[in-house]
Structure 1
Amino acid sequence: MTFMLQIYCKNKNLSKEFEEGTSLFEIYQGFDLNMPYGPVSARVNNKVEDLNFKVYYNKDVEFLDITSASGMRTYVRSLCFILTKAVSELYPNGNILLEHPVSKGYFCKLCIDRTIGLDDVIRIKQRMQEIIKADLPFIRHEKHTDEIIRLFKERGMDDKVKLLETSGQLYSCYQQLGDTIDSYYGSLVPSTGYIRLFDIVKYYDGLLLRIPNRKNPDKLEEVVKQEKMLDVFQEYHRWNEILGISTVGDLNQACNRGMATDLINVSEALQEKKIVRIADEITNRNENGQRVKLVLISGPSSSGKTTFSKRLSIQLMTNGLRPYPISLDDYFVNREDTPLDENGQHDFESLYALDLPFFEAQLKALLAGEEVELPRFNFNIGKREPSGKKLRIDDNMILILEGIHALNPALTPNIPAANKYKIYVSALTTILLDNHNYIPTTDNRLLRRIIRDYKYRSHSAEATINRWPSVRAGEEKWIFPYQEYADAMFNSALIFELAVLKDHVEPVLRKVPNNSPAYSEAHRLLRFLSHFVPVQDEELPPTSLLREFLGGSSFVY
């Protein structure tokens, strides 16, 4: 007897009946959808599944293409598998590490015991194109974890073995592409022929895997030069090597051996050492008799800018300087003059929500040695008013300005460069899940923000997740274009961080209801966190950047 299911397609706002056991791809065809860039995966009752997933109960289904964040993740995972297969075939004794996103692509380290050349890049790209043309299926296997561990051990894939051995899972999954096996922690496209557009180019001492632009998938993302960002990633990879930890499996094993306290102490010390170096450079910089009088600190949401600025101020004080914080919020234009966004709402993220001429006039006066009365913005009435605070900069004083626009050249166009020191702060996750699975740096910041919003702003994880795309859009417009202008970049991520955040954020994520659009992202984050052995936060020092989000900081915010 054939059982019929009711499937509601969100793309068409329409329900249809299908036989029990029908695949998502067959359902896509049954709804006669025509998605020019997809589908690549689908949300099934707000959980992302691959198109081979078979349905046995009534479901809500939304098909995704690469213009969505989730669809793009599916596309990139599949492309990464094709790359690792090509490398394994061309260099049987070599390996490739998919390290981190940079320059609108993904930086990969090809380990073949020699310097890579352009001929290597050409061979890899050609083999990837052949694999795509062959339209090989991605096959998913679910087996007992011990069986998969034996399989990976036979192939010398120790990074995956460590992760599985510390997962605590009875059953696990791996994927197969031809005679190549690997593991990817999320959906893949049905077959290699789904990959329409990519490129791979030589990039410094590695490779850059290029992907389509989400807004215009017929074109590749432009390569944006990010030398400083790459340097920071590579510096922190060297730190990881000092600690002997490159992957989450390494981290889990170290924590299980009782090394969590040592990891915390060494990681915090390495971070403090970096802050000391930045403070010393600020103190000692002297160009044509002019010293730094203004430190500008920028970075995206939940990057830890506030705690960083406080720790930097302490180090500047040990160098004999007197830091004085200036808040950009006090320089907002009156509310009725605030620019509007495309939805007709006040755009407080815009640079032009600030009174730029007034701000620059006050800065120039201060740097010239004049006394000014600082403003105060009254958020209750939406107007700027006098604060009664008067300020004059003396020889030992240095202004600290922290805000999302701090590195934008339009904020301080006429302030002499010799008087400014620009710092970009972000949480740049450098640990890998395993050699072929990077951790998105935005996940690190999103988890921080979910915890902070829940603890201190009475916002649910659902509300934070729903707002995150607009936060990211503001960052793309107002922050990321100026990060390479920085004199110094500071990575606020800590190697043990996600293991500490785990116990704090999981209960909050579990409160997101299944019928919410945010459930898909909450479910993905919970699956991601399941790979970590939890670490308690008792050993965190009160000055740790994580205290800004978890509580218990010795700083006043």
Structure 2
Amino acid sequence: MNNDISVSLINPNNKIDCIKVKYDTPIYEITDKFNFPSEKIYAARVNNEIKSLDSRIKYKCTIEPVLSNTKSGALVYRRSLCLLLAAASHNLFPDRRLLVGHSLGYGYYYTFENEIETRQEELDALTKEMKRLIKENIRITTSIISYQEAEELFEKLNLTETRKQLNFNCMSGVKINTIGDFSDLFFEPLVLSIGVLKVFDLMKYQNGFLLRFPKSSDPDTLMPFKDEPKLFEIYHKYKEWGKRINVTSAASLNALIADGKINDFIEITETYQQKNISKIASQIIGKGTVRIVLMAGPSSSGKTTSAKKLALELQAMGYMPKVISLDCYYVGRDKTPLGPDGKPDFECLESLNIELLNQNLIDLFDGKEVNIPSYDFHTGTSYYEDDNKIKLAPNEILIMEGIHGLNEKLTSKVPSKFKFNIYLSALTQLNLDDHNRISTSDNRLLRRIVRDNNFRGKSAAGTIEMWPSVTKGEELHIFPFQNNADAILNTALDYELSVLRVYADPLLRQVKPSQKEYSEARRLLAFLDNFATIAPTAVPPRSIIREFIGDSAFKY
């Protein structure tokens, strides 16, 4: 019997080379067939599913290398670097629990349990140990052990949250990754050997430290550190809140669902979020001179519902908010600057009539009546309607949300005393376990997949396909200005992934292996597997989550 398997290798410019390999050949044995240095190949896309290089070829397939200078390659690198740090920490400090926190720039924030301040000499020792392991180029082994062995292993390694998660993922065989004497739960593919993990830094920050890594487009260089103190403060505040209510991980959330206590937790999280919106409303009124609230945040951060919730809080304080959409100020398709692709760039600041917007705002604050323009997206033209005139009473405040809200150039002629800037993002404080964080971007992408399907009829593959262009726009027009915020609102709700799974799971399962988006769909499905489901009927009618799943008490 011929056990040769046909494999199509995708090289630069989509050039395909066809080869034959023996059944069960590991992928790393054929990486020399690609026109790339082997050390730049971190994983492989097999029939559009990303796999570790030690995965074995068992059927006819197309294989494409996952390179160091791609987003997928960067994620593999970062996950592998996190495992290396955990292994080094175990080697040096076996009695201390290392806990991953959140992202900060191109880095992840870590602390030891109870936030015992990390000393510089400890960071120096960790760095030295990581470099020692890298120099030895130790192989990351992937294996499957029994459920009972996994229980004993994670208890021995003091991986508390990882051990708890086993209670809700009762597989007879548990997949793990191992470096030397340290093992952790397998979540996603890692590099084959740690010798490639040479670009990193450990930097003391607050009570903990940052594990810094390169950006995807420049995998050989660390970017200069840019502090984001306001964002860190919000993250830290929510982490502390999570500790107080004893819900810090997917396992903690799953335990509440299993014990029938999730409804109370939903009310607690919704109340806490509303309390923070109320605090922001008090800040706005407390400033005494605010006439316009500018809100900005990345895609699917819940800007629309947050604006409506804030408006209710302001009304409760005796103020009457009015909403102006930035979309009204598009200059028109024929006047919009072209992007690199030769198409109108509707996300750039110059696509808006900034001069008119500033003049309208100044006139409104002077007590004048203003005719606000309208924009026809079908014809791409700006026009006026007689019934679109507004005038501000002394107790009326404008609310304007849009991607450029925190860019000072948007309202440069408006005195700062009249403005209050709010940045929104879904900054979940939950981790998957001790060493694996939940990506804010993944949370928002799942929201977007559900909303796009519910309200625009778009498939999961369609949303995944356009997501890179969305995040590129955020990096250009939103993230650079988040430190201009007077307040930051966290729109994440720590139970939401269990609700989103109900909707997203069947949508993601429709993405076929023949589609490029398959690898991302499979990754998101594996991520959602960590969460037990919550019935959508448990979501309150005014929740931000209703903006994505539907049946909101608000009108959009």
- Show the 5 A alignment for 1:386-535: 386-388=384-386, 389-535=388-534
CA distance in 2, matches of 1:154, 1:203: 29
Residue by residue over 1:455-500, the C-alpha shift from the partner in whole angstroms, topping out at 9 and shown as x without a partner, is 1001110100000000000000000000111000011111111011
Instruction: Show the counterpart of 2:117.
Output: 115
The alignment partner of 1:411 has SS state of helix
**Equivalent position amino acid for 1:189 in 2:** V
- Bigger drift between 1-10 and 355-364 goes to 1-10
CA distance in 2, matches of 1:68, 1:380: 36
CA distance in 1, matches of 2:69, 2:304: 34
- Show the 5 A alignment for 1:354-365: 354-365=352-363
Contact 1:167 1:532 in 2 (8 A): no
- Bigger drift between 234-243 and 399-408 goes to 234-243
The alignment partner of 2:293 has SS state of strand
- Bigger drift between 546-555 and 373-382 goes to 373-382
Instruction: Show the counterpart of 1:243.
Output: 245
CA distance in 1, matches of 2:92, 2:156: 19
Going from structure 1 to structure 2, the CA distance change for 1:91 and 1:147 (only over 3 Å counts) comes to closer
Task: State the shift of 1:77 in Å.
Answer: 1.1
Contact 1:2 1:20 in 2 (8 A): no
- Show the 5 A alignment for 1:18-33: 18-29=21-32, 31-33=33-35
The alignment partner of 1:40 has SS state of strand
Question: How many residues of Structure 1 are paired with residues of Structure 2 in the alignment?
Answer: 552
Instruction: Show the counterpart of 2:369.
Output: 371
**Equivalent position amino acid for 1:136 in 2:** I
CA distance in 2, matches of 1:242, 1:462: 39
Contact 2:160 2:434 in 1 (8 A): no
Going from structure 1 to structure 2, the CA distance change for 1:37 and 1:415 (only over 3 Å counts) comes to farther
- Given the alignment of the two structures, is residue 259 of structure 1 paired with residue 261 of structure 2, yes or no? yes
Residue by residue over 1:41-89, the C-alpha shift from the partner in whole angstroms, topping out at 9 and shown as x without a partner, is 0110111111111102111001012222221111111111111111112
**Equivalent position amino acid for 2:156 in 1:** E
Instruction: Show the counterpart of 1:95.
Output: 97
Task: Identify which of 14, 17, 29 aligns with 2:20.
Answer: 17
Task: State the shift of 1:156 in Å.
Answer: 2.8
- Bigger drift between 228-237 and 305-314 goes to 228-237
- Show the 5 A alignment for 1:121-136: 121-136=123-138
Residue by residue over 1:130-178, the C-alpha shift from the partner in whole angstroms, topping out at 9 and shown as x without a partner, is 1111111111111232331232123332211111111143322011111
**Equivalent position amino acid for 1:327 in 2:** S
Going from structure 1 to structure 2, the CA distance change for 1:2 and 1:447 (only over 3 Å counts) comes to same
- Bigger drift between 169-178 and 541-550 goes to 169-178
Task: State the shift of 1:329 in Å.
Answer: 0.3
Instruction: Show the counterpart of 1:3.
Output: 3
The alignment partner of 1:399 has SS state of strand
CA distance in 1, matches of 2:37, 2:369: 62
- Show the 5 A alignment for 1:218-367: 218-286=220-288, 291-367=289-365
**Equivalent position amino acid for 1:19 in 2:** K
- Bigger drift between 261-270 and 34-43 goes to 34-43
- Show the 5 A alignment for 1:31-42: 31-35=33-37, 38-42=40-44
**Equivalent position amino acid for 1:485 in 2:** N
**Equivalent position amino acid for 1:330 in 2:** C
CA distance in 2, matches of 1:37, 1:477: 31
**Equivalent position amino acid for 2:430 in 1:** I
Contact 1:37 1:217 in 2 (8 A): no
Residue by residue over 1:302-353, the C-alpha shift from the partner in whole angstroms, topping out at 9 and shown as x without a partner, is 0000000000000000011110000000100111111111110111111111
Instruction: Show the counterpart of 1:550.
Output: 549
Instruction: Show the counterpart of 2:383.
Output: 385
Contact 1:139 1:177 in 2 (8 A): yes
CA distance in 2, matches of 1:184, 1:237: 24
CA distance in 2, matches of 1:164, 1:38: 34
**Equivalent position amino acid for 2:147 in 1:** T
CA distance in 1, matches of 2:2, 2:178: 32
**Equivalent position amino acid for 2:19 in 1:** K
The alignment partner of 1:202 has SS state of strand
Instruction: Show the counterpart of 2:164.
Output: 162
- Given the alignment of the two structures, is residue 55 of structure 1 paired with residue 61 of structure 2, yes or no? no
Residue by residue over 1:504-538, the C-alpha shift from the partner in whole angstroms, topping out at 9 and shown as x without a partner, is 11011111122000111001100110111111121
CA distance in 1, matches of 2:317, 2:294: 18
Instruction: Show the counterpart of 1:46.
Output: 48
Residue by residue over 1:418-454, the C-alpha shift from the partner in whole angstroms, topping out at 9 and shown as x without a partner, is 1000000111121000010001110000000000000
The alignment partner of 2:91 has SS state of helix
Contact 2:115 2:208 in 1 (8 A): no
Contact 1:294 1:419 in 2 (8 A): yes
CA distance in 2, matches of 1:308, 1:124: 42
CA distance in 1, matches of 2:280, 2:306: 11
Q: CA RMSD in A?
A: 1.3
CA distance in 2, matches of 1:170, 1:411: 57
Contact 1:91 1:112 in 2 (8 A): no
The alignment partner of 1:60 has SS state of strand
Unaligned runs of 5+ in 2: none
CA distance in 2, matches of 1:478, 1:441: 18
Contact 2:117 2:208 in 1 (8 A): no
CA distance in 1, matches of 2:343, 2:472: 15
Q: TM-score, normalised by structure 2?
A: 0.97
CA distance in 1, matches of 2:189, 2:446: 21
Residue by residue over 1:386-423, the C-alpha shift from the partner in whole angstroms, topping out at 9 and shown as x without a partner, is 12221111110100001111001110112111100000
CA distance in 2, matches of 1:32, 1:174: 29
The alignment partner of 1:143 has SS state of strand
Percent of residue pairs identical? 36
Contact 1:184 1:437 in 2 (8 A): no
CA distance in 2, matches of 1:434, 1:293: 44
CA distance in 1, matches of 2:342, 2:186: 42
